[in-house]
Structure 1
Amino acid sequence: MSLAAAAAASGFIVFLLSVQVIQGQNGWGVTYTSTKICAVKGSTVEIHCRYTYPSRIYGRQITVEKTFWFTKMYQYRPLDLTTDPQYSGRVQYDCDKIRNNCTLRITDLRESDSAEYKFRFTTNQLTGYTGSPGVTLSVTGLQVSRSNNGLDCQISCVPDRPSFIWYKNGQKIQTEASSYYYLSNYNQEDSYSCAVKGYEDFPSPPTCADGQTCNRVTYTDRNICAFKGSSVDISCTYSIYKNHVESKFWFSPERKDQWQNPSQPADLSKDSQFAGRVQVIDTEGGHSTLRITDLRESDSAEYHFKFTTPSFEWRSSLPGTTLTVTALQVQVTRITVGQFVTLAELKCHSSCSPAGRLSYIWFNNKVKIRGEYRSSYKARFGLSDISCAIRGHEEFPSTSVYAPKLPSVSVSPSAEIVEGSSVTLTCSSDANPAAKYTWYKKTINPRPLSEGPQLVFSSIQSSDSGQYYCTAENELGRRTSNDFTMNVKYTPRVPSVSVSPSGKIMEGSSVTLTCSSDANPAAKYTWYMENQKVLQGSDGVYQFMSISSEDRGKYYCTSENQHGRINSSSIFIDVQYAPKLPSVSVSPSAEIVEGSSVTLTCSSDANPAANYTWYKEDEDSPKASGQIFTITDVRAEHSGNYYCEAKNSRGRHNSTFNPIIVSRSMKSVAAGSITAIFLAIIFVLAFLFIRRKRSWKQTPEPRQRPDDNAQANMGAVYDIPPAPRQTTPSEQQDDLCYASVSFSKNQEDPLYSNVRLNQPNRHREEEEDEDDVEYSVVNFKSAGAATESIQEEPAEDSSVLYSTVLKKPRV
């Protein structure tokens, strides 16, 4: 056996000759990597080639339209291997029109596959070229034959220095041996097999050591492919040497993890996975068949047959029958996308297909399409649903191929979406082939956000709110989901505060404060003035229909929803108004004495602050400006009514009259009074002196002095004793005059002065007439009194100074 055969057994490319062969002329040609290949039965082989062609013919551009391999001619034309029933499901092309190469892959090789394989390509100019001669493939198997005292492992392709494995009664006995096995102990019951090391899956059939009857098991099929849902029969023949069978059953080594004792296989008919689906059919002549119904893809495995006799047990190192359960598939081989419809070329395919020429059934939306029995079909896709089945096995159709259905969008978590949380959007669509997904956010010019079925927000933000949609696309079409609205809830942002009107605010005008905040759900607002709640509502508007000066102050609002609360910054509402009635204060508030100073202060509530002007009643020109008006060195002419005017840009207002009364000072009054008294005394003394001088010229008469008690009672301070005189009979009492002068300084220190004139013509004192006496009382008040008062009874005032003046006798 050659190394090429060993490589083929493992599914690799096998080269017997590495010489490149080029056929062609005028730029046309095909190059094969090898011209001869030998491969082992049941293995996989690959045949490679590269082709060339001219770029133009008669000035026309040349392009390749079709490439294929063939071994036979059909109606004088090459028969594409993919349409040859003998190779159904076992042939695959891997061609690259850019690099101009193509590979033929044949699986599950059979001896009937031995042939010459050629490559052909056609162009758009109705021309083509075939690479001839092609590549000769030889498919062979291993055989064990008797040779003298041993066994020989024979193969038509022998590699250099091969290594073999030998099996006895199905059990591996020797590795890395030669192709010859020496029989040391001859036993007629034993059977032997061989395989190339590394490719144990392709051993020779068991052979009796003596060429006669022996214990052995031979499987009818090394590989079986069946459709999902169908039934399959796995068969073998077995022979027993002069014994009877004690037990026999089918098992799968791949399910040994479910055996109670891994070293002892378990009967497949007792496996719960196959309950009701497995049947063993034994016939005469040593035939056993394992039938499995309602096949599942999980049934794909290798199956073995085992029997025992009283002195023998068939082992299981040799490979059994490999079952592959598959479903038919519709493959898209070519597609043309139009504006409203997609045209696709389809092929009904399975990874393994039964041998023989097959015909197919095609379905559109589960309805059979009549007249279509080939493995390929051209279909128009919109809402179409295309599937296929092997004719006669319509109950086991392929899965359908179709453009994506309308995608649906789901969100996780499904509860309320809160800012900062993790959110996942999932797009799903029923499509075959499987759809590819793309996410978009709905904008004027949407751009892809991400690819894949999921759009993940690890920490979602309010800016992520909006409408999202996804597209699902496969080779057959593209669909767009409905819009999904992402509504992200979040705490209120810092509120903004506005004032309307935005200019100066006049008292009595209408003013509106508006609080607004970005929040989801919508926020509720509360207005505060100097930390005192004044309004709560959902619109955030606080309105003054007629604002007043009392409304002046700092305002702020709060924005709140179930996710949080936040305050705005403060604003100051400055209400402007005309001055209120001014108030005037006078300092000092007691009597204002001449020569002192007085301060008048005017104040008025006004915004903006008022300017002040001072006026005196009945005078047009202002006396002063400013809030404070001070008069220094007050005089009598400063007396009068004063008022102030408060004025700002909004208006003016006058205060009420404030009288200023100026009194003379105590020293001035006292000095004036004393001066007047002295002048009066001097005048009286002069008068008395003159009278007395006259009286001296007359006869003097004795004169009695006035009652000393009267003088004592009067408490005179100044007593001017009269000159001695005599009292005449004609002297009358009513000639006596009293002049009383009173100086009052805080009603203390009374001064009295009695002046009495001698009347020489008076003779009797008792004849004096009291009605002729006159009293004059003058009161001087140091508190600024400007008037004199005459009193009838001066004795009641201790501050009165009395002066008695004697009148001239009446004639």
Structure 2
Amino acid sequence: MKKSWIILLFISHAWSGDWRVTFKDQCALEGTSVLIGCEFDYPRGHLVTSVAWFRGQRLSDRWVLYSLSTQVRFNYVGNSRGNCSLAINNLNRADEGHYFFRFKTVFNSWTSMRPLHLSVKELTAVLEPSTVTEGQEVSLSCWSGCATRLQVVWYRDGTPVPRQVFSASIKDSGSYYCTVLGQKIQSASVALNVQYAPSDVLLSMKPAGDVLNASAVTLGCSSHANPPVPQSGYSLYKDDQLISSGRDHIISPLQPRHSGLYHCQASNNISRRGVTYVSSSGMNLDVQYLPSVAEGSSVNVTCSSTANPANHSHIWYKWTNSSSLLQMGSGQVMSLPSMETSQTGMYLCQTRNRLGVVSSTKVLLAMEDDTSGGRSLQVLVLAGLGVCLFGILVIALLLLWNKLRNKAEKKVQGATRAALKSRGLLILALNQAQVPAQHVSPAASENQHDNIYANVSLSTPPTHPPPHILSKQQHAIDEHDEVTYSTVTIKAKHRQESRFKMEEHDETVIYSNVANSS
């Protein structure tokens, strides 16, 4: 009887415990490891035979459990005597969800009444504000989404940031991220945009160095600014006078008047200590130009030198197209009284003493270019007037020459007839070998053009020689060796009238022989 009581007492004590599993929901960062604390209990007298964690998925009104035994990142770190803790390594977002713990004894099994919820969060870097003006305050905060307070370290482009609250400057622009102290985990990077007025404003010139007139240069303005300076934000000044707006300014062709001190200004509408426009340092543009003179003006070019013994001769030369030297003169000063286009070119002088000869550097002497449109127009107008006047002059000369020629012809014809008539030396003879006048056709008469042949002597015979004198003269003519024939063409004013006269008087051909007495 006593033994039975002891057995009942033991059984009553063994079944007096509670079946339970105790844990808390967890929140952890992606990429970290988490230890889920867990405890379980059961009535005394039971022997735990197995323990396991399951992933739970809610389907309709019930939970479906999936074993984690195949997950290598999940490690059971508890025991079979009440500790059911679970460690999960290298968490990822897919690990977020609901978990159940189950244990079995010889007589029974128990599953947690409710699931454990695991939240997996990302580490997030926050800049307030993310876009600031230089001098404005910036606050850094690292947010995990979990209630647990984290110890974090901040970095900017890989460099540790000492303070989480600071006044922004140009150097503070960059990418920021935070990390959890002691863990290899960092947030995604966020950019801090620090806007500032233009700095390092620079005026440049291309090509650099000395420049000659008739060439071109480009003046460019640049700066560091955030936001960048727009095209309209740049201004170019010459001697404090506004020249143009824009990043680049081209001067072509260069003229001596372009020489001066230039600087540029830049603005992006952000002020620095109340100043919106920032200026560059000045740049002096020195336009070098070749000696040039206007056409027709006088030029004096001087050759100076020092020597011991003193120079005693200076000779000037000009380079020709064949690359040879043409001597232009001597003396220390070469004078060109009236500059012409042919005199442009390269000149040099040579100085000589008893020790030798030294040549100077070459100098280009050029004509001034007339680039003004007004002067070009004047030249065109003058050229047009010159052509018109020349044409009028040519026409007038032609008319005058024609008139003088007609008068001369009339004078010659009148003088010839008067001389022949006054001297009485015309001997008329009808050429019987010619076609008789009455048989000459009008066309033939026209083609003959009233030909007249005259032989004129150089002597002065009497006005009315007697017959015996005529016979002697005729004899003298026959004996004379040189007989001169002169052809005179007389064009009738009315060709038809002339033809009728010739037929009537039969004077189409006239021969005249005059002796040349010595």
Q: For the superposition of Structure 1 and Structure 2, which TM-score range results when normalised by the shorter chain?
A: 0.3 to 0.5
Q: Which has the larger radius of gyration?
A: 1
TM-score by length of 1: 0.28
TM-score by length of 2: 0.42
Relative CO higher for 1 or 2, CA cutoff 8 Å, sep ≥ 6? 2
* More helix per residue: 2
